Amino acid sequence: MTFGSRLAAAVGRFGSLCVGIDPHPSLLAAWGLPDTPAGLDTFSETVLEAVAGSVAVVKPQVALFERHGSRGMAVLERLLKHSTAAGVLTIADAKRGDIGSTMAGYADAWLRDGSALAADALTLSPYLGFESLRPALTAASETGRGVFVLALTSNPEGASVQHVGGEDSVARRIVQAAAAENDGGTPGSVGLVIGATAGAAVRRLGLDLGTLNGPILAPGVGAQGAGRQELLETFAGASGVILPNSSREILSSGPDAARLRQAVATAQRAVDLSGVAEPGTD
């Protein structure tokens, strides 16, 4: 089964909320945990245990594991493995992007069957040209995994690249290129990253999200200010699953598992997008 189909089925069962697993030093301290690989491990496993059976997908932020070197990456490997065992889909937020054999190496690490770092999906940066992502696109297709390509991010600096070209903007070309990768008959596995507060830019740049037929990862929910109204404004008419991502607002409720579960339930109600985009099925 493709990632797009698996994701649609999981969202149909658990809802669309994506929970970020972001072990920031400040969060570790707030939880009473050391900023060490052992602290990361306790943090990550606590979050996974709290959300398993309640959410479709989690998104570990790779940089926050990588900063602890090989031991931090070993924690991430365990988290990815345990998430699979718990029936929770994973998006490795690594934002990889390169050319040729280097991109193939990233694809081998994150999207190959049997790799210790294999996730269900991987975030990608297309700013060396969309076609530079081909090794990852091919690997994901061959192994039933997915990718999320940065298209329209909410950070102020992003506009200096993504908005260039006006009606023929970089962002619009990325949306079109991603849509061309997806089969119109089943839920596509090539998704986009579009900030949940980017509605004005979506309209101004003329992005046709109805043609994507793939999932959209929507960061910026909760602590970053986006709620249901912003999601409705940004993604009305989108043709695939929308995954609102919330991290800090949920994670700040830890380390108590019951409070984490309550925060997840509250976030799920806040981002319910019933009627905005219907997930497809196999």
* Tokens standing for residue 62: 């790779």
Nearest 10 degrees: Cα torsion 219, 190, 119, 161: -50
C-alpha to C-alpha distance for 105 and 26, rounded to whole angstroms:
32
Q: Which of 24, 81, 82, 95 is catalytic?
A: 95
Under 8 Å between Cβ of 61 and 71:
no
Residue 59 falls in the annotated catalytic set: no
Pairing of β 18-21 and β 190-194: unpaired
Under 8 Å between Cβ of 231 and 17:
no
Write out the catalytic residue numbers: 95
